[in-house]
């Protein structure tokens, strides 16, 4: 009876799994709406934007680009009394990271990210290529602009690199660079216990072995430098926009790389067919097994070499496309500005500035996201 029950459970699990995978293959998106922030299920079964929740998603992305970490964003939302996707009062950094990395917020959908490995325990595993995944572009209305989404992914990768841990205490964290040692400025508090308390930014290596001599900078100075540099940039706004368009056209053309990637994809397909043919031949007639093994090793090495080149090209194409989207977002932001900017805007700071560099003599330069340096 136990064996019969187990086989029945296996049969049901296989049928359910087959149904899920068939829906994925057909491009049908399935979402746990009760625990998914920003979308409701529409009459046709498609994802429909929930305007109230969408504002929370946009806030999370904006706060991240302004310099906050997932941890500090979670604290901020909890203090504001905003409910989590599951309806709880307290947010955590893991939930914030999932929202920041979920492609559904830019209108796309990646299906079959996880799969069940044991039908009895229902244990799931992250899909690392064991079974097919399906990516659907423009599946539903986006909450986050694709360029902004890709900018967030780049920023997350940038924060992982470097010798020091990223600090997200303010929108200026890891955005001010030392012109002497190349390190980042960090926030420091002067007179923390009296009426003269103020926050300054200085090189984190100021009193380390490097002993940098670059001066500290106040928050108001950073804002002033940004406004001054932005207005200089806007003095030639139309010319700059045209230059950005030219750069987009030239630097984001991936046709040659796409053709080369297809060549290696064809090589992989050819080698896979040769491996399959060799396996069938070995099963059909008696072959010298040592000779068969050597032939199989050669084909496997050939396939791996082609796959490596194919994956490298795919990564380069993705980087170029992301760069293009960032430049187009930079261009759209410039086009939305008319005349001089008189007040500091954290959205503009996050969208336009890559970093500020402070030099030993007190000179400061602003490097914008299109590569312009003022």
192-207, pLDDT tens digit by residue? 777 778 888 888 888 7
**If we measure between CA atoms, which residue out of 150, 153, 133, 134 comes closest to residue 142?**
150
- Assigned domain for 139 exists: yes
Over the range 168-179, which residues count as b (16 or more CB within 10 Å of their CB) and which as e? bebbbbbbbbbb
Helix (H) or strand (E) holding 54, with range, is: helix 51-65
Beta carbons within 10 angstroms of residue 127's beta carbon: 15
Query: Which range marks the domain in which residue 49 is found?
Result: 2-157
- Assigned domain for 46 exists: yes
Which residue is it, tokens 């979402």? 31
Q: Please tell me the distance from the alpha carbon of residue 313 to that of residue 310, in angstroms, as a whole number.
A: 5
- Assigned domain for 231 exists: no
pLDDT over threshold 60, residue 56: yes
Helices and strands, number each (H, E), in the chain: 10, 12
CA torsion sign, 32 to 33 to 34 to 35?
Answer: positive
- Assigned domain for 238 exists: no
Q: Please tell me the distance from the alpha carbon of residue 164 to that of residue 154, in angstroms, as a whole number.
A: 18
Q: What is the CATH number of the domain that holds 64?
A: 3.90.1750.20
- Assigned domain for 344 exists: no
Q: Please tell me the distance from the alpha carbon of residue 78 to that of residue 291, in angstroms, as a whole number.
A: 66
Q: Average pLDDT, stretch 273-287?
A: 82
pLDDT digits (tens, 9 = 90+) for 219-270: 889 999 999 999 998 888 888 888 888 888 777 788 888 999 999 999 999 9
Q: Average pLDDT, stretch 105-109?
A: 88
Q: What is the pLDDT of residue 29?
A: 63
Q: What is the pLDDT of residue 199?
A: 81
Which residue is it, tokens 């002497």? 180
Q: What is the pLDDT of residue 121?
A: 62
Which residue is it, tokens 């100075």? 221
- Assigned domain for 123 exists: yes
- Assigned domain for 20 exists: yes
Q: Average pLDDT, stretch 64-68?
A: 78
Q: Please tell me the distance from the alpha carbon of residue 114 to that of residue 154, in angstroms, as a whole number.
A: 24
pLDDT over threshold 60, residue 155: yes
Q: Average pLDDT, stretch 115-124?
A: 61
Q: How confident is the model at residue 131 (pLDDT cuts 50, 70, 90)?
A: low
Q: What is the pLDDT of residue 161?
A: 65
Q: How many domains does the chain have?
A: 1
Of 111-115, 221-225, 316-320, which has the strongest mean pLDDT? 221-225
- Specify whether the CB–CB gap between 116 and 12 falls below 8 A: no
CA distances from 123 to 34, 86, 115 (A): 22, 22, 9
- Assigned domain for 71 exists: yes
Q: What is the pLDDT of residue 135?
A: 76
């Amino acid at each position: 009876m136990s064996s019969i029950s187990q086989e029945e459970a296996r049969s049901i699990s296989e049928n359910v799994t087959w149904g899920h995978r068939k829906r994925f293959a057909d491009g049908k998106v399935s979402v746990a709406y009760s625990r998914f922030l920003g979308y409701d299920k529409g009459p046709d079964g498609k994802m429909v934007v929930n305007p109230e929740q969408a504002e929370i998603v946009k806030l999370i992305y904006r706060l991240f680009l302004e310099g906050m970490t997932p941890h500090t964003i979670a604290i901020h939302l909890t203090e504001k009394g905003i409910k989590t996707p599951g309806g709880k009062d307290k947010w955590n950094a893991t939930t914030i990271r999932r929202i920041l990395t979920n492609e559904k917020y830019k209108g796309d959908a990646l299906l079959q990210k996880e799969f069940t490995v044991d039908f009895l325990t229902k244990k799931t595993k992250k899909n690392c290529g064991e079974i097919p995944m399906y990516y659907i572009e423009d599946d539903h209305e986006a909450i986050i602009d694709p360029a902004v989404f890709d900018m967030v992914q780049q920023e997350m990768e940038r924060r992982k690199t470097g010798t020091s841990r990223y600090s997200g205490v303010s929108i200026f964290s890891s955005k001010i660079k030392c012109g002497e040692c190349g390190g980042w400025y960090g926030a420091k508090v002067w007179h923390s216990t009296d009426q003269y308390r103020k926050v300054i930014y200085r090189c984190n290596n100021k009193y380390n072995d490097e002993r940098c001599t670059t001066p500290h900078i106040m928050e108001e100075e950073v804002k002033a430098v940004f406004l001054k540099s932005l207005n200089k940039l806007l003095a030639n706004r139309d010319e700059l926009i045209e230059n950005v368009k030219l750069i987009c056209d030239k630097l984001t053309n991936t046709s040659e790389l796409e053709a080369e990637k297809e060549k290696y994809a064809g090589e992989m397909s050819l080698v896979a067919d040769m491996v399959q043919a060799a396996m069938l031949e070995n099963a059909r007639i008696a072959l010298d097994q040592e000779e068969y093994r050597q032939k199989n090793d050669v084909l496997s090495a050939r396939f791996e070499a082609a796959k490596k080149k194919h994956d490298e090209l795919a990564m380069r194409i993705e980087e170029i496309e992301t760069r293009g989207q960032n430049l187009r977002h930079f261009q759209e932001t410039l086009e939305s500005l008319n005349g001089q900017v008189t007040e500091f805007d954290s959205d503009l700071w996050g969208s336009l500035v890559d970093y500020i560099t402070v030099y030993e003599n007190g000179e400061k330069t602003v490097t914008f996201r299109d590569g312009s340096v003022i």
